[in-house]
Amino acid sequence: MTNDRKCRWGILGSAGIAQKNWQAMAHAENAELVAVASRDQAKAREFIERCAAQVPLAQAPDAVGGYDELLARDDVDAIYLPLPTGLRTEWALKVAQAGKHLLCEKPCGTSLEEVERMVEACERAGVQFMDGVMFMHSDRLAKVREVMEDERTIGDLRRIATQFSFWAPEDFLTQNIRMHSDLEPHGCLGDLGWYAIRFILWAMKYQEPKAVTGRLLNASGRSDSPHPVPTEFSGELLFDGVSASFYCSFLTEHQQFAHLSGSKGNLRIDDFVLPYFGNRLGFVSSNARFDCEVCDFRMERREAHHQVDEYASSHSTAQETKLFRTFSGLVLKGETDPHWPQITLLTQRLMMACMESAQKQGKEITID
């Protein structure tokens, strides 16, 4: 006997990323989108029509004019919240108070205290909290972990290096919400650095670093932004025996690599956040060998390619679909998994510590 129960979703806010997740919900067999809310019902309707033209649903969701109206519905189990970070806390708390499960876009708050309030509200309400980092749900991570721990490819991990960047056109730098300090005060650090910090934490099995440093390399803002926001940022996380760096930027064209180095070799992922188009996700390990025979100096590459069968996007196997499948599964089981809010809090904490360091000219910040 098959179980055809579905987690009933509402989208609170019609941000661009919600269009991708419309499709993710459509591909997740245990999820159903029932309503989309905007402050203006006409905007919600436009969002629905635009998405349905490309990915039609068996039943079109309702267009709701007002966020409170969405939260008052008894046919919604979970809320996907893609509002700007500066507006998110108020509505995250209201989602929890309404007894709805919360999938929250990242960075989840403008401060650690805000995210702590969200998580505590969800705990009191007995609802699931999770952030929207899609790569956490990819099958590729399990394969990476397998290779990391095979004792011959990497050996003892010593160094992690990550970068996530894109070159933003002028209209982005002068108009986008990520360039307004009231809406997205952490700029590229919150938008891109969050992923890099999360990957480092995943690689370290969520061990806390001893200390962090951060450097604000560039900053600017929209003409109506009260303060500039980071547009180029680098950071360092220092663990016992392992160091990790990240670079994030709106000023450097597309790169999204993660590189793990150890006593025996290294591993690199060239697309750890947004997989390159295709039906397989991969990474490369290297155990280069240097030989010297008198005058003949030779470096041999010795690479191995590893893959998993998984579409990059827009498919039932894609990582964004697996995010909604995992979250919906928890809701339908009536369970909450504390792992997800715990790693959100740790990611936010380290991001804020890196920002504090940058504000203090790169001073090392101890993580207690």
84-101 tens-digit pLDDT: 999 999 999 999 999 999
DSSP H or E stretch at residue 280: strand 280-286
Q: What are phi and psi of 329, to 5 degrees?
A: -60, -40
**297 with 152, same domain?**
yes
pLDDT at residue 3, as a whole number: 65
Tokens (6 digits) for 209: 């670093």
**81 with 163, same domain?**
no
**117 with 25, same domain?**
yes
Of 135, 169, 191, the residue that ends a domain is 135
pLDDT at residue 1, as a whole number: 37
The proportion of the chain whose per-residue pLDDT surpasses 70, expressed as a percent, equals 99
Residue 330 lies in a domain: no
How many CA atoms does the CB half-sphere of 240 hold within 13 Å? Answer: 3
**124 with 161, same domain?**
no
3-state helix, strand, coil in the chain (%, to 5): 35, 30, 35
Mean pLDDT on 168-184: 97
**211 with 354, same domain?**
yes
Residue 334 lies in a domain: no
Give the pTM. Answer: 0.97
Verify cis geometry, omega within 30 degrees of 0, for the bond prior to 226.
no
Handedness of CA 78, 82, 85, 88 (dihedral sign): negative
Burial label, 176 (beta-carbon count in 10 A; 0-12, 13-18, 19+): middle
**163 with 297, same domain?**
yes
Residue 93 lies in a domain: yes
Q: How many CB atoms are closer than 10 A to CB 57?
A: 16
**51 with 127, same domain?**
yes
Q: Are the CB atoms for 306 and 283 separated by under 8 Å?
A: yes
Average pLDDT, whole number, for the chain?
A: 97
Catalytic residue from among 6, 94, 100, 106: 106
**251 with 110, same domain?**
no
Residue 182 domain boundaries: 138-318+347-366
Q: Are the CB atoms for 195 and 105 separated by under 8 Å?
A: no
Q: How confident is the model at residue 202 (pLDDT cuts 50, 70, 90)?
A: very high
Domain count, the chain: 2
Residue 171 lies in a domain: yes
The proportion of the chain whose per-residue pLDDT surpasses 90, expressed as a percent, equals 98
**114 with 174, same domain?**
no
Q: Are the CB atoms for 7 and 328 separated by under 8 Å?
A: yes
Convert the pLDDT of each residue in 253-274 to its tens digit.
Answer: 999 999 999 999 999 999 999 9
DSSP H or E stretch at residue 214: strand 211-220
pLDDT at residue 189, as a whole number: 98
**Residue 223 predicted with pLDDT over 50:** yes
Of 110, 135, 160, the residue that ends a domain is 135
pLDDT at residue 95, as a whole number: 98
**Residue 4 predicted with pLDDT over 90:** no
Q: Is 100 a catalytic residue?
A: no
Nearest residue to 250 via CA among 179, 174, 176, 165: 165
Q: What are phi and psi of 59, to 5 degrees?
A: -135, 125
Q: Which CATH number characterizes residue 45's domain?
A: 3.40.50.720
**172 with 293, same domain?**
yes
Mean pLDDT on 130-134: 98
Convert the pLDDT of each residue in 293-343 to its tens digit.
Answer: 999 999 999 999 999 999 999 999 999 999 999 999 999 999 999 999 999
Please state, in angstroms and rounded to a whole number, the distance separating the CA atoms of residues 368 and 366: 6
Residue 331 lies in a domain: no
DSSP H or E stretch at residue 17: helix 17-27
Residue 91: CB partners within 8 Å, gap ≥ 6? 12, 67, 81, 83
In which region does residue 241 sit, left (phi positive, over 0), alpha (psi from -120 to 50) or beta (all else)?
left
Residue 105 lies in a domain: yes
Mean pLDDT on 96-108: 98
**243 with 150, same domain?**
yes
Q: Which residue has the tokens 């600017």?
A: 220
pLDDT at residue 15, as a whole number: 84
Q: Are the CB atoms for 110 and 90 separated by under 8 Å?
A: no
**Residue 105 predicted with pLDDT over 80:** yes
pLDDT at residue 80, as a whole number: 98
Q: Which CATH number characterizes residue 362's domain?
A: 3.30.360.10
Convert the pLDDT of each residue in 207-216 to its tens digit.
Answer: 999 999 999 9
**Residue 61 predicted with pLDDT over 90:** yes
CA angle 133, 271, 171 (to 5 degrees): 75
Of 102, 135, 168, the residue that ends a domain is 135
Residue 45 lies in a domain: yes
Nearest residue to 256 via CA among 214, 317, 195: 195
pLDDT at residue 252, as a whole number: 98
**131 with 180, same domain?**
no
